Structures are given as structure tokens and as C-alpha cells.
């Protein structure tokens, strides 16, 4: 089986976990690296149209038959489906939290006034400015090592995903983990998606983690219903406790001065599609409260 992936260290690390799982079931796997627009362009992700720019070249290779499956970071995948392709498996999710990596063991609260903090995410920028409006938030690009390398040089800190650092064995760089309640992360963060041509789902369907799929699909459905791109300043988190599915989403203004939050729950056994039902409730409440007036919505991606 030929598995397509971006060539970055993080993409290779998360794809390797998929490869190992397939090889355990006796499948022979070949990795095929594919360069995407998001890898070559120096422009900000927001100006490129969001993190969906990492998906198009992978999907082109899959549709052309150059590979049999492709692996995405789920948070980077547009919520709209792609004709002819299906997300056949979402393996068990990693840590969904964001983290701060700062010089001298600093945390968000102990960073000095005017400290430079790097992130390429409008959501993370808004969250940081909401908590510390006195900081200088700098737009950055580059792989994890490049971003970490800027600390103690041109930057005082960067914000990254815990899952990526864990996969790369770089959790030693973390100086603060952000709690999901106060700092909700991108819908689907920490999960990977394996996409195949429609009709060929059996190639990887054994790797699907059903409870993870329920959670991340609920989060991503909120994003879709808000008509928000995958780089929009929207955070969402779903979890299950004692048979109850909980879903919370928060919309931020780009400068962090305004936020709206909606949270709902229902029993998994009460409806056929609990994730979709919850997402509809959450999105409706946010829109009724004026989410479109404070955030750049209306650009699904």
C-alpha cells in the first residue's frame, strides 16, 4: 500500500504511526512524500486561505492513483468533503491541548510586558491577546524545529500543539500546558485522518477509533455550520462522560477583545446522530448571539 504524506518531520512522524499499525496487520507499506503549497509558500496561512493548502496536493495524488491513501492532521483538513474521497479512518486522538514553549521556563502569566510570542494561528493570536493584550504576537511559519529555534533569539515564546511535540519527542520544550476549558483548541486537533478513494475504505477502516470519530466530527461540524475556515478564530472541544456527549465551542474576535461561548450536552443513546444534533444546537446559539459580527465567518474551508 502506498501512503502519501507531507515531508515535514511532524507529518512523517504521524504517518509513521499509521504505517506501523498497518504493518502489524501484515500490510506492506511504501511511504510517498508529497510537497504542498503550504510547504513551499512563505505567506501566512491566513492569507493562503487557511491550512487547507496542505491538503490539495495530497488529494490530487490520491485521485491520480499515485498513492492508495493519504494522512492529514485533521485540524488542517477543510470541513467540506472532497468528491470521490472518503475519510476512512481516524485513529485514537492524541493530546488536544495547546502549549507554550518559552525561554527561561516562562509561562503566559510570567512573560514580561511586550514579550514577542510567535504563532501562525488567528485563534491562538486571539486567545493570547485576550489573556495578555500587552504582548507582541508575531505571525510565524515553519516546522516545529524552526519555530522552537526562534526562542531566545527573535522570539520569547511560541505556541504549538502538544500532540505534535509528543509525536516528535519534544515535550521537553514545553513550559506551560493550556487547559482545554479556558483555551479551547482547533476542531479535530490532536487527531489524524486517513483518506482513501471512495469505495476503498476497507484498506484502512480497521484503524478507525469510533469514539474519537464521534468527538472530532462533532467539533468539525460546528466549524462547518458556522461557515468558518479551518484557520478561523474558533475553538471547540467535545468529550464523553457517563454516556453524555458534551460539546463546547468559542468564537473570538481577531484581537481577542470579544468572545462568545456555547456548550450543550445530550445522551449518546437519545438520538441517531448525537454529534450532528449537538453541533447544530451550539452553532445556532453562537450565530443567534452574533458570532458573525465578531469573527470572520462565511468562508468554509
CA angle 38, 39, 43 (to 5 degrees): 55
* Catalytic residue status for 76: yes
Helices and strands, counts by H and E, the chain: 10, 13
Q: The C-alpha cell of 73 is what?
A: 492532521
Handedness of CA 171, 157, 251, 43 (dihedral sign): negative
Query: Closest Cα partner for 220 from 162, 298, 279?
Result: 279
Q: At what angle do helices 210-225 and 274-288 cross, to 10 degrees?
A: 30
Give the separation between CA 286 and CA 177, rounded to whole angstroms. 27
Q: Which residue's C-alpha cell is 468572545?
A: 259
Instruction: Spot the catalytic one: 76, 95, 98, 156.
Output: 76
The residues pairing with 266 across neighbouring beta strands, listed in sequence order, are: 245
Q: In angstroms, what CA-CA distances link 165 with 11, 180, 234?
A: 12, 17, 22
Q: Quote the cell numbers at residue 266.
A: 445530550
DSSP state of 117: E
Residues carrying an active site annotation: 76
Amino acid at each position: 500500500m502506498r501512503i502519501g504524506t507531507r515531508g515535514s518531520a511532524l507529518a512523517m512522524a504521524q504517518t509513521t504511526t499509521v504505517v506501523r499499525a498497518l504493518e502489524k496487520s501484515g500490510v506492506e507499506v511504501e511511504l510517498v512524500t508529497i510537497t504542498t503549497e503550504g510547504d513551499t509558500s512563505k505567506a501566512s496561512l491566513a492569507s493562503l486561505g487557511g491550512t487547507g493548502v496542505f491538503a490539495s496536493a495530497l488529494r490530487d495524488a490520491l485521485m491520480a492513483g499515485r498513492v492508495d491513501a493519504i494522512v492529514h492532521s485533521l485540524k488542517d483538513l477543510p470541513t467540506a468533503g472532497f468528491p470521490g474521497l472518503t475519510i476512512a479512518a481516524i485513529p485514537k486522538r492524541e493530546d488536544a491541548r495547546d502549549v507554550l514553549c518559552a525561554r527561561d521556563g516562562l509561562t503566559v502569566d510570567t512573560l514580561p510586558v511586550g514579550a514577542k510570542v510567535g504563532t501562525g494561528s488567528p485563534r491562538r493570536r486571539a486567545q493570547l491577546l485576550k489573556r495578555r493584550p500587552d504582548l507582541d504576537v508575531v505571525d510565524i511559519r515553519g516546522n516545529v524545529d524552526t519555530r522552537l529555534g526562534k526562542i531566545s533569539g527573535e522570539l520569547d515564546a511560541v505556541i504549538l500543539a502538544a500532540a505534535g511535540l509528543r509525536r516528535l519527542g519534544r515535550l521537553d520544550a514545553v513550559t506551560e500546558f493550556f487547559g482545554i476549558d479556558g483555551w479551547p483548541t482547533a476542531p479535530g486537533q490532536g487527531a489524524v485522518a486517513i483518506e482513501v478513494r471512495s469505495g476503498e475504505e476497507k484498506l484502512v477502516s480497521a484503524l478507525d477509533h469510533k469514539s474519537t470519530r464521534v468527538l472530532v466530527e462533532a467539533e468539525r461540524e460546528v466549524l462547518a455550520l458556522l461557515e468558518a475556515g479551518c484557520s478561523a478564530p474558533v475553538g471547540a472541544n467535545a468529550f464523553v462522560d457517563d454516556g453524555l456527549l458534551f460539546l463546547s465551542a468559542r468564537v473570538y474576535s481577531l484581537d481577542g477583545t470579544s468572545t462568545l461561548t456555547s456548550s450543550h450536552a445530550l445522551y449518546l443513546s437519545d438520538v441517531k446522530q448525537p454529534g450532528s444534533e449537538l453541533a447544530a444546537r451550539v452553532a445556532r446559539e453562537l450565530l443567534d448571539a452574533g458570532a458573525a459580527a465578531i469573527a470572520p465567518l462565511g468562508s468554509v474551508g
